[in-house]
Structure 1
């Protein structure tokens, strides 16, 4: 960090947004507010109702905490840079954002993998579910999902922290590690970190993929021997998780496309969409696991009735 020759990075993606910055600022603020409100509501409802203190809801709560962490790492910084005159960001702030966003993305995938394992235990071993997903095991899975991404990325990111920067242009709305590496003064360092990144990548992906694949292979085998009604019930419990995985995977592919390919010829509207898609789960996940789950939906509506946000006679109709 002592050898930094560039003090700020210029975020060139914002230059084409100058004429729309007030409208975009409002949009970003709205997205951030919705994310915070939805996830905070889900966390509050789960925390306040002991009936919801089940392993799946514990992981759902952890997922919502991660959504707040990720969106807070992104939206405030975007809004500040958008409204600035130079569209510059201090190098140290940029490096901090890289750490937050990458650990958010890594933790998201690990939490989804743990939730897949929970669905496997619930569907394949319903009579032994609570002994399999004991409080101690849930605590270990929560700790693993929180610490593993931090430790693995920190080991890799320590290489980036040693770089000095001569380039000062970033073609994205936010800072990512690959853009930092591209602005390094040393071509050898760029090649070395890129190579190490490819070597370490399996640590970010393989354990989660194996856990998810194992869970759904086992679930599929068990479902083949169930009645149609039981199959529908099993599918209903898996749909929110499968949709979350799909949305996350699409966002990850968009991020890879932006990082690895030249996006200068792509319209700024498309670039904005691609840049922000990876935080779409921050909004969709609380909807899928909150409003999409009947028991959670009931408690949310009861909370609204308690504070007189909804009339009592509407709740039964909505729940039904």
Structure 2
């Protein structure tokens, strides 16, 4: 590695001095984090213990819920520590780990939502062939591939950042972000790092899944326009939670990207903080909420689990 020995940590300057309110913010963040863990774990357990939920769609949901726990854990424990800290320093090692975890979470989320869109497409547009196309074995393989590819890809991307020498230490963010860390390097115009970050990260990790999702929903819409009322109702019931999840996560992701490159001082600070943490705090709580309330099999499983307790 070529990291400068003079720089051993970065400073997360966005926290500032919040006085005694830090205890309130810490408590609220901890409550939300615990809620995320409990909500997602509850649905994972329901899917695992209920044989009637051992279907492709629910396996994808299980992967999504696991990723939500993973994504929240990538940021929120560090966030809680920084809220109580006086210095707001983060070591290079933990900074790189956080970059890897948060970027992996985003890639897995988009790719899982993309394959779930294909699952909905086959279910609605090719119902007679669904069981032969979407098998449990294939779903397990696809989920495994999504996680492995995301981990390997982000490991390769991060390797370019780790090799850089850093001449700056201040990150104006709540956590480490690869783009902002690159700007702190002594060679901020490092083309190789930026090309890999944009091409491998943004294009293959985000844009490609979104284009695929758009394509599948265009197909679904074209079928629904010619279908019976029953088919339209089925499509609406199964696609609504998925669409809400997609739009919510895309908006959170776009805000994070925009805020890295433009001055967002016109946004009230508290709202700005909420929007920055949305993908790792609100979205992981929203997913089990919308799927748990909308999908009847999960609701029934939740009711029986509560009764058994």
Q: TM-score, normalised by structure 2?
A: 0.94
* Secondary structure of the structure 1 residue equivalent to 2:18: helix
Structure 1 contact 16–268 (Cα < 8 Å) conserved? no
Q: CA deviation at 1:157?
A: 1.7
State the 1:193 CA deviation.
2.2
Matches within 5 A, 1:252-263: 252-263=253-264
Distance between the aligned counterparts of 2:35 and 2:188, measured in 1?
Answer: 42
| Alignment match, 1:169 | 170
- Tell me how far 1:207 sits from its aligned partner: 3.1
Kindly provide the CA deviation profile for residues 90-127 of structure 1, in whole angstroms up to 9, marking residues without a partner as x: 11111110100010011100000011011011111112
Q: Is 2:183 the partner of 1:182?
A: yes
Distance (whole Å) between structure 2 residues aligned to residue 214 and residue 18 of structure 1: 50
- The match for 1:305 is 307
Which residue is 1:313 aligned to?
none
Instruction: Give distance in 2, aligned partners of 1:2 and 1:214.
Output: 44
> Is 2:126 aligned against 1:125?
yes
Question: Could you tell me how far 1:16 is from its partner in structure 2?
Answer: 4.2
Aligned length: 306
2-structure distance, mates of 1:206, 1:171: 26
Q: Which residue in 1 is equivalent to 2:100?
A: 99
How far the C-alpha of 1:2 sits from its partner, in A, is 4.9
Please list the CA deviations of residues 8-62 of structure 1 after superposition, one character each: whole Å capped at 9, or x if unmatched: 1111111143442111101110110110000000000000011000100000000
Q: Which residue matches 2:115? A: 114
Are 2:46 and 2:305, in contact at CA under 8 Å, matched by a contact in 1? yes
How many Å separate the matches in 2 of 1:18 and 1:72?
Answer: 25
Secondary structure in 2 aligned to 1:9?
Answer: strand
Q: What does the per-residue CA deviation read over 1:253-295, in whole Å, with 9 as the maximum and x for residues that have no partner?
A: 1101111113456543132112111122200101111222111
Query: CA separation of 1:241/1:267 partners in 2, compared to 1, >3 Å: closer, same or farther?
Result: same
**Conservation of the 8 A alpha-carbon contact between 2:2 and 2:164:** no
Counterpart Cα distance in 2 of 1:134 and 1:285: 24
Query: What secondary structure, in the 3-state scheme, does the structure 2 residue paired with 1:10 have?
Result: strand
**Structure 1: which 5+ residue stretches go unaligned?**
308-320
Instruction: Tell me if 1:197 matches 2:186.
Output: no
Per the alignment, in what secondary structure is the counterpart of residue 14 of structure 2? helix
Q: Quick check: 1:66–1:104 contact (8 Å CA) kept in 2?
A: yes
Tell me if the contact between 1:240 and 1:292 (Cα under 8 Å) persists in the aligned partners. yes
- The CA RMSD over aligned residues, in Å, is 1.6
Determine if contact 1:35/1:283 at 8 Å carries over to the other structure: yes
Q: Is 2:141 the partner of 1:150?
A: no
Compare relative contact order (CA 8 Å, sep 6+) and give the higher one, 1 or 2: 2
Residue 230 of structure 2 aligns with which residue?
A: 229
**Which of 290, 293, 299 does residue 291 from structure 1 map onto?**
293
Change (3 A) 1:214 1:94: same
Deviation, structure 1 residue 85 = 1.5
CA contact (8 A) 1:152 1:203 kept: no
Offset at residue 227 of structure 1 (A): 1.5
Distance 2:61 2:199 in 1: 31
